[in-house]
C-alpha cells in the first residue's frame, strides 16, 4: 500500500467515471459559449479567438519509481487566455484525463475569473496518473518534474496553478519550492492554495464552500425561501460539500441528504452535520457506517424531494437520463460541470433555478486571488477580512448576473457567459491584436 493512502482513500479522492451521456466537457462548454456569442452578436474573428486556447503544452514526466524502474507520465497545461491578466487555474491528477478535458476546464476558468471580476485569464493543468497507486516520494517526483518542465509556462506574472482534483497544499508547496529553486529566490506567488506557513491565505481551504453558501442564500432570497425553512441535499462530502453542509447547517437549514464515495445518506428531519463531520474524522475519512441517517444510493440522493440540490462532487452527474426526476427548486453547482448541456435545457423547462458553476464555485479562485495579492505585498490578512471580502465579491457577482439575466430574459448560466464573454472581448478589443 502506498504511503499516501490516507490522502487518497478519503472522499477527497475522486476518480472520474465514464461520461453518463455522450457530451464531452468541451462540447458542453462550446454549446454555452455559442449561445452567448449569438446574443452578443460576436463577430467571427472574436469567436475564433475565444474558442481556441492561446497555448497548450504537453510534457513527458519520467520518474524513477520506488521499484527502480522508469515510468513516464504525461502532463498538460492549457492557457485558454491571458487577456484580463496572468492565467489562473487548478492542476489535477487523474488517470483518465485528456487534453480536450483540460482545454474545456481552462476555458471555464476564463469565464469564472471574469464573472467574479478577478484580474486573471483562464488555465488548467493535469497529470495523467492515479495518485492512489503512487507513494509520496513518487508523487513528489512527478510534481517537481512537471514544474521543471513547465518552468517557462508558469510564473507569478504569467500563469498561476492551484489545487484541483486530487491535488492539495503539499503538492502546491513542492511546486513553489521547485519554481523558487530555479529562479533562485522565494517566489511564493507562483501557486495558490499553499500551506499558510508558506504564504497561503487564511480562509482559502474553506473558500469554495463559503462562496457556494453565499450564492445559495442569494438564490433562496430570490425564491422567497427562508434559510431556516430550507431542505438541502448535497452530493459530495469533500472540501466543498462538507464546508457547504456545515455553514448551511449553522444557518438552520435542514440538510436532508449528503453523500460521498461510499453512497448517499438520508434523513427527512435533517442530518446532524456535526455528527457526520465527527464520524468522517474518526472513521478515517468517509461517511461509511454513519448511523445518523438512512443509507441510499447516489442516484436516489439526486432525486430526493428538497428545495436546494448542491452537486459538489463530479462532472456530468445530472444528465439527460436523470434530469426529469430532479425535484429541487434550485441547483447550485458546487462542482465544475455537474450538469450536462443536454440536462440544462430539461431543467430550465422544468423551471428550476440553476446557479452555474462559473459563479457558484468561484469562491476558490477569488480567495486564490487574495492569496496572490497578499504574497505580492508580503502582508497577510485576517481570516475575517478574507471572508468579508469573499462574501462581498460573490454577492456582487450574483446581483450583477441577475440583472443581466432579467435584462435579456435568459437563464443565469447564459447571463454568466454573456457577461464574461463581453468583458473579455471588450478588453481584447482595447488591447488589440499584436502582430
Where on the chain is the footprint of ligand GLU (CB under 6 A)? Answer: 88-90, 162, 164, 192, 336, 361, 364-365, 368
C-alpha cell, 355: 446557479
Nearer of residues 160 and 326 to ligand GLU, judged by Cβ: 160
Cα–Cα distance for residue pair 124/122, rounded to 1 Å: 7
Query: Residue for cell digits 454555452?
Result: 32
Alpha-helical runs (H) found in 116-253: 136-149, 169-183, 204-223, 239-250
Q: Rounded distance, CA 143 to CA 134, Å?
A: 12
Query: Of all residues in the chain, what percent are helix, strand and coil, respectively (each to 5)?
Result: 50, 15, 35
Closest to ligand GLU by CB, 105 or 404: 105
Q: Which helix (H) or strand (E) segment is 99 a member of?
A: helix 99-115
Q: Where are the extended beta strands (E) located within 312-382? A: 330-332, 353-355
Among residues 80, 83, 85, the alpha carbon closest in space to that of 103 is found at 80
Smallest distance from the beta carbon of 44 to ligand GLU, in angstroms?
Answer: 30
Element (H, E) at 44: helix 44-51
Minimum gap (Å) between residue 205 Cβ and ligand GLU: 11
**Quick one: which of 289, 288, 292, 286 has its CA closest to 273?**
292
CB of 90 to ligand GLU, least distance (A): 3
* Whether 229 is catalytic: no
Q: Which residue is nearest to ligand GLU (CB)?
A: 90
Q: How far is the CB of 410 from ligand GLU (least distance, A)?
A: 23
Q: Tell me the Cα Rg of the chain.
A: 21
What residues does 236 pair with on adjacent strands?
Answer: none
Q: Which is nearer to ligand GLU, 257 or 356 (CB)?
A: 356
Q: What is the dihedral of CA 424, 427, 429, 434, to 10 degrees?
A: -100
Nearer to ligand GLU, 164 or 260 (CB): 164
- Contact (CB, 8 A) for 187 and 156: yes
Q: Minimal CA–CA distance to 128: which of 157, 101, 97, 103?
A: 97
Q: How far is the CB of 366 from ligand GLU (least distance, A)?
A: 8
Q: Smallest distance, Å, CB 63 to ligand GLU?
A: 24
Task: Closer to ligand GLU by CB, 290 or 381: give it.
Answer: 381
- Minimum CB separation from ligand GLU for residue 324, in Å? 29
Assign 61 to helix, strand or coil. strand
In the bound state with ligand GLU, the residue whose beta carbon lies nearer, of 39 and 99, is 99
Q: How far apart are CA 192 and CA 181, in angstroms?
A: 17
Do residues 149 and 182 touch, judged by C-beta distance below 8 A? no
Pick 249 or 419: Cβ nearer ligand GLU: 419
Question: Which among 299, 232, 242, 307 is positioned nearest to 270, based on CA atoms?
Answer: 232
Shorter beta-carbon distance to ligand GLU: residue 89 or 199: 89
As a whole number of angstroms, the distance between CA 266 and CA 268 comes to: 7
Taking CA 171 as the corner, what is the angle to CA 366 and CA 139, rounded to the nearest 5 degrees? 150
Nearest distance in Å: CB 309, ligand GLU: 20
- Which among 88, 103, 112, 124 is annotated as catalytic? 124
Residues labelled as active-site residues: 124
Amino acid at each position: 500500500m502506498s504511503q499516501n493512502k490516507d490522502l487518497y482513500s478519503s472522499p477527497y479522492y475522486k476518480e472520474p467515471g465514464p461520461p453518463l451521456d455522450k457530451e464531452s466537457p468541451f462540447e458542453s462548454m462550446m454549446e454555452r459559449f455559442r449561445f452567448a456569442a449569438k446574443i452578443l452578436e460576436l463577430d467571427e474573428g472574436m469567436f475564433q479567438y475565444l474558442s481556441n486556447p492561446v497555448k497548450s503544452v504537453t510534457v513527458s514526466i519520467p520518474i524513477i519509481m520506488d521499484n527502480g524502474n522508469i515510468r513516464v507520465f504525461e502532463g498538460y497545461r492549457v492557457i485558454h487566455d491571458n487577456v484580463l491578466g496572468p492565467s489562473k487555474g487548478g492542476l489535477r491528477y487523474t488517470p483518465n484525463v485528456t487534453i480536450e478535458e483540460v482545454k474545456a476546464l481552462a476555458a471555464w476558468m476564463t469565464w469564472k475569473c471574469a464573472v467574479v471580476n478577478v484580474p486573471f485569464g483562464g488555465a488548467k493543468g493535469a497529470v495523467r496518473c492515479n495518485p492512489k497507486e503512487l507513494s509520496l516520494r513518487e508523487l513528489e517526483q512527478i510534481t517537481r518534474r512537471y514544474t521543471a518542465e513547465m518552468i517557462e509556462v508558469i510564473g507569478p506574472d504569467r500563469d498561476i496553478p492551484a489545487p484541483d482534483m486530487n491535488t492539495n497544499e503539499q503538492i502546491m508547496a513542492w511546486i513553489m519550492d521547485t519554481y523558487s529553486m530555479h529562479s533562485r529566490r522565494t517566489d511564493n506567488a507562483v501557486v495558490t492554495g499553499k500551506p499558510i506557513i508558506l504564504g497561503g491565505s487564511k480562509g482559502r481551504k474553506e473558500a469554495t464552500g463559503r462562496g457556494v453558501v453565499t450564492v445559495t442564500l442569494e438564490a433562496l432570497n430570490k425564491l422567497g425561501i427562508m434559510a431556516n425553512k430550507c431542505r438541502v441535499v448535497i452530493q459530495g462530502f469533500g472540501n466543498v460539500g462538507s464546508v457547504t453542509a456545515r455553514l448551511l447547517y449553522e444557518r438552520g437549514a435542514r440538510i436532508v441528504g449528503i453523500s460521498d464515495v461510499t453512497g448517499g445518506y438520508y434523513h427527512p428531519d435533517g442530518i446532524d452535520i456535526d455528527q457526520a463531520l465527527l464520524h468522517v474524522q474518526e472513521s478515517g475519512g468517509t461517511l461509511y457506517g454513519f448511523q445518523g441517517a438512512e443509507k441510499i444510493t447516489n442516484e436516489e440522493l439526486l432525486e430526493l424531494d428538497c428545495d436546494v440540490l448542491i452537486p459538489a462532487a463530479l462532472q456530468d452527474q445530472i444528465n439527460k437520463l436523470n434530469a426529469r426526476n430532479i425535484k429541487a427548486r434550485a441547483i447550485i453547482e458546487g462542482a465544475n460541470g455537474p450538469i450536462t448541456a443536454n440536462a440544462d435545457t430539461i431543467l430550465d423547462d422544468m423551471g428550476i433555478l440553476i446557479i452555474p458553476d462559473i459563479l457558484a464555485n468561484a469562491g476558490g479562485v477569488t480567495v486564490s486571488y487574495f492569496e496572490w495579492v497578499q504574497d505580492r505585498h508580503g502582508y497577510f490578512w485576517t481570516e475575517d477580512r478574507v471572508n468579508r471580502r469573499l462574501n462581498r465579491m460573490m454577492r456582487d457577482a450574483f446581483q450583477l448576473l441577475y440583472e443581466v439575466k432579467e435584462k435579456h430574459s435568459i437563464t443565469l448560466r447564459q447571463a454568466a457567459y454573456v457577461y464574461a464573454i463581453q468583458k473579455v472581448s471588450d478588453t481584447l478589443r482595447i488591447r488589440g491584436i499584436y502582430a
